[in-house]
Amino acid sequence: MKRFNFETSVGVFMVIGFICFAWLSIKLGDIDLFGRESRTVVARFVSISGLKPGAAVEIAGVQVGKVTGVRLDSEYFEAEVQMEIENGVELQEDSIAAIRTAGIIGDRYIKITPGGSDVLIEPGGEIIETESAINLEELVSKYIFDKD
Amino acid sequence: MTFATPFKKLGDQSLFFFEAVGRAGIFLLVCLISMLKPPYKLHPIIRQLYFIGSRSGFVILFTGLFTGMVLGLQGYYPLAKFGSEGLLGSAVALSLIRELGPVLTALMVIGRAGSAICAGIGIMRNSEQIDALECMAIDPIKYLLAPKFVASILSLPLLTFIFDIIGIIGGFLVGVALFGVNQGTYFQGMYSSVQWIDIEMGIVKSLVFGLLIVWIASAKGYFLHLERSGGFGAEGVSRTTTDAVVISSVSVLIWDYLITALMI
Amino acid sequence: MSSAKDQLAIEMVNVEKTFGQQRVLKGINLPVAKGETTVIVGGSGQGKSVILKHMLGLMKPSSGEVRVFGRDLARMKKQELYEVRKDYGVLFQNVALFDSMTVFDNVALPLRERTKKSQAEIARIVEEKLALMALEGAAGKYPAQISGGMQKRVGLARALALEPKIVFFDEPTTGLDVHKSNEIYRLFHATQQQLKYTAVIVSHDVPKIFKLADSVALMAGGEIQGCMSPEDFQRSDNPLIRQFVEVTMGPIYTNDKEEAVSRETV
């Protein structure tokens, strides 16, 4: 009976430990264990200041995907952002991708505003219309210089 | 007392120190090899998992809960000043997963299990029980230490995960239930800011800490008879156990820095 | 010559051991004959236990050889050493029972770890050994719950569990009263009759131990001062042996006149 007890408690401990691990890695670590179908879409920005892989992609405030990669296009000196969008969500050709900040010092994320076109973006395609990150310093200085 | 005496003393002491470090290094290798070498016996490992893992559960629950609650309190005020309460979730989760979870779990396990391993093996060395095993042609490292190594390396990550989750719940209690941060914001901020790499760092840390703890505790106990200050008697065991706790706590913090610097 | 060598279970040849600056063993030569009982006597701190640890392979000599059945322990790999030790049984000075295990588990441990016997068979052997030591009722108790004499008997049962060829006794009767030590000696004698093992005993229970010994060796000044039969030992003219015998046994009888005098006084 005693032996049964301590083996049970080891079992319970291991199970709880692994459940916690699973929750951490699936929910927080973005490990797609069940492989929700998604596709890659690209967008180019003049500046992404501070957007990082893993950042959320939202439509109307709902997360529909995440940023998977950021690289510099050395020909045009633009930032090329790869993101994964869930397959159920369709993007029109004239959708607009904008980089926004949650709060004043919060995380950067990409906000997509749907367009009205009938033509949809193919998997691997590009969102043409983009808005770069709003740079606070630039905004402030613009405000000051405009006054002159 | 001649001119050379202080030099001789210094040389003596450094020789002794390097001898102990080298011995512990070889000991680690031998332990790891005999841990991986068959035959594997499940029952001793389960016993050790019970002792190092299950029995640490309650301590981890309490420390984890209160650490998370303190993080919630401490994080809320500065974030609220900038109107960024939405970051509370990610602040709590990131500091727990990357840093506090592995380190505090390791320190708790040192206090609970590391000291007990060191004292237990030290007493077995003192009362010739280890010699008795040798004379029965039973390898004391395979028989006594290998299960402890397996159990410690396995328990630490699991305890750390439990600590993280409980801590996140603690932060949730303070942030959401007490200060009224939006529940969705708390978790959504967490989901989007925590990366797999953060969890990976937590896992690497807790695995390394698990190895460090069991290594230092068992090496200290196993080589009790070679302690410079004379490791005999109850006083020897208690002194060596104190040493083991101090050394492993300090090494955990040092390695914490090294791993963070390497993986960041 | 070779046949004489074959009769030896253990042979120590010119074994020296130094700890730092201190020379503890200064060239030990000691043969242990097969099937016989060799007793090593000597004052405290003379290195008797060190000799035993060399025979067990727990210590490596600084120089010299420790041959067990003709093979040198000092130059053996760990695995070979474990092979040799399969033939060993040891009763430690403080018994060294595993205090976290019951008496039964203590005796069963070498059987479980070293043999592939089934649990039922192991249980049978353990019961048999415990019965031999008159310990039937104590199987479920922990070492701390039984008396010192019983602990020694458990230690002996554990040492004999694997039916060893050589059994080592480190101070088997220290800390026991006369009655209990007689009991240990009786059990030792009975089991040796039955199992025919070679015995090496380190003891200072002189003269009682002489009754059991086939040969006696005195350890003094880092050397073995002769290894001979108990009778020869008591009449030896080696000054160190004489001194030892006089201190531990009172005056010895060197000639008829002295003997007659001492008989009168007794």
Inspect the interface and report whether the beta carbons of B137 and C99 lie closer than 8 Å.
no
Average pLDDT over every residue of A17-40? 76
Domain boundaries, chain A: 1-34, 38-135
Q: How many domains does chain C have?
A: 1
Furthest-apart CA pair in chain A: how many Å?
87
Nearest Cβ partner for B135 among C88, C94, C98: C88
A26 touches chain B (CB under 8 A): no
Q: Which domain holds residue C64?
A: 2-87+164-265
User: Token digits for C195?
Assistant: 């199992």
Percentage of chain C with pLDDT > 90? Answer: 0
What subunits make at least 3 CB pairs under 8 angstroms with B?
A: A, C
What subunits make at least 3 CB pairs under 8 angstroms with A?
A: B
Residue C15 has a pLDDT of 85
Residue C110 has pLDDT above 50, yes or no: yes
C90 touches chain B (CB under 8 A): yes
Average pLDDT over every residue of B29-56? 89
Residue C214 has a pLDDT of 87
Q: Which of residues 181-240 of B touch A (CB under 8 A)?
A: 188-196, 198-199
User: Token digits for A76?
Assistant: 């045009």
Residue C261 has pLDDT above 60, yes or no: no
Chain A nearest-CA distance from B169, in A, is: 12
Percentage of chain B with pLDDT > 90? Answer: 55
Of the pLDDT bands very low, low, confident and very high (cuts 50, 70, 90), residue B158 is very high
Of the pLDDT bands very low, low, confident and very high (cuts 50, 70, 90), residue C260 is low
Inspect the interface and report whether the beta carbons of A21 and B157 lie closer than 8 Å.
yes
Q: Cα–Cα–Cα angle for A62, A64, A69, nearest 5°?
A: 130
- Which residues of chain C does B44 touch, with a Cβ-Cβ cutoff of 8 Å? none
Inspect the interface and report whether the beta carbons of A106 and B164 lie closer than 8 Å.
no
Domain boundaries, chain B: 41-263
**Is residue B39 reached through a cis peptide bond, with omega within 30 degrees of 0 on the bond before it?**
yes
Residue C1 has a pLDDT of 41
Residue C252 has a pLDDT of 54
Phi (first) and psi of residue C34, to 5 degrees: -60, 135
Average pLDDT over every residue of C10-20? 84
CA pair distance C79, B44, nearest whole angstrom:
23
Residue B155 has pLDDT above 60, yes or no: yes
Does an H or E element contain B218, and which?
helix B196-222
Q: Give a yes or no: residue C114 inside a domain.
A: no
Q: Which of B97-106, B156-165, C149-158 has the lowest mean pLDDT?
A: C149-158
Higher pLDDT, C167 or C78: C167
Average pLDDT over every residue of B164-168? 94
Residue C2 has a pLDDT of 47
Chain C nearest-CA distance from B58, in A, is: 25
Q: Which residues contact C122 (CB under 8 A, 6 or more apart)?
A: C108, C111, C112, C115
User: pLDDT by residue (tens digit) across A102-145?
Assistant: 766 667 888 888 888 888 888 888 888 888 777 777 777 878 87
Residue A1 has pLDDT above 60, yes or no: no
What subunits make at least 3 CB pairs under 8 angstroms with C?
A: B
The overall average pLDDT reported for chain B is 90
Inspect the interface and report whether the beta carbons of B165 and A24 lie closer than 8 Å.
yes
SS3 assignment for C152-216: HHHHHHHHCCCCCCEEEEECCCCCCCHHHHHHHHHHHHHHHHHHCCEEEEECCCCCHHHHCCCEE
Q: Which of A48-52, B12-16, B171-175, B197-201 has the lowest mean pLDDT?
A: A48-52
The overall average pLDDT reported for chain A is 81
- Which residues of chain A does B157 touch, with a Cβ-Cβ cutoff of 8 Å? 17, 21
Residue A16 has a pLDDT of 92
What was the ipTM of the complex prediction? 0.82
Residue B48 has a pLDDT of 92
Chain B nearest-CA distance from A119, in A, is: 30
Q: Which residue has the tokens 């295990």?
A: C101
Bridge partners of C168, per DSSP, are: C90, C200
Inspect the interface and report whether the beta carbons of B132 and C94 lie closer than 8 Å.
no
- Which residues of chain C does B134 touch, with a Cβ-Cβ cutoff of 8 Å? 56-58, 85
Q: Which residues contact C261 (CB under 8 A, 6 or more apart)?
A: none
- Which residues of chain C does B136 touch, with a Cβ-Cβ cutoff of 8 Å? 85, 88, 90, 109-110, 113-114, 162
The overall average pLDDT reported for chain C is 82
CA pair distance B69, B65, nearest whole angstrom:
6
B105 touches chain A (CB under 8 A): no
Residue B1 has a pLDDT of 58
Residue C4 has a pLDDT of 58
Nearest Cβ partner for B129 among C96, C114, C168: C96
CA pair distance C232, C210, nearest whole angstrom:
11
Inspect the interface and report whether the beta carbons of B129 and C90 lie closer than 8 Å.
no
CB of C64 closer than 8 Å to CB of C14: yes
Interface test with C, best of B50, B127, B135 (most C CBs within 10 A): B135
Residue B190 has a pLDDT of 84
Q: Which of B53-62, B154-163, B181-190 has the lowest mean pLDDT?
A: B181-190
User: Token digits for C119?
Assistant: 């649990």
CB of C93 closer than 8 Å to CB of C50: no
C124 touches chain B (CB under 8 A): no
Interface test with B, best of A28, A58, A100 (most B CBs within 10 A): A28
Bridge partners of C95, per DSSP, are: C92
Nearest Cβ partner for A28 among B54, B82, B191: B191
- Which residues of chain C does B132 touch, with a Cβ-Cβ cutoff of 8 Å? 90, 92, 96, 98
Nearest Cβ partner for A29 among B159, B189, B194: B194
CB of C181 closer than 8 Å to CB of C103: no
Residue B157 has pLDDT above 80, yes or no: yes
Inspect the interface and report whether the beta carbons of A54 and B97 lie closer than 8 Å.
no
Interface test with A, best of B51, B98, B161 (most A CBs within 10 A): B161
Residue C266 has a pLDDT of 44
Average pLDDT over every residue of B243-248? 94
Inspect the interface and report whether the beta carbons of B132 and C96 lie closer than 8 Å.
yes
Nearest Cβ partner for B84 among A6, A16, A103: A103
Average pLDDT over every residue of C213-219? 86
Average pLDDT over every residue of B199-214? 94
Percentage of chain A with pLDDT > 70? Answer: 87
Of the pLDDT bands very low, low, confident and very high (cuts 50, 70, 90), residue C176 is confident
CA pair distance C169, C95, nearest whole angstrom:
10
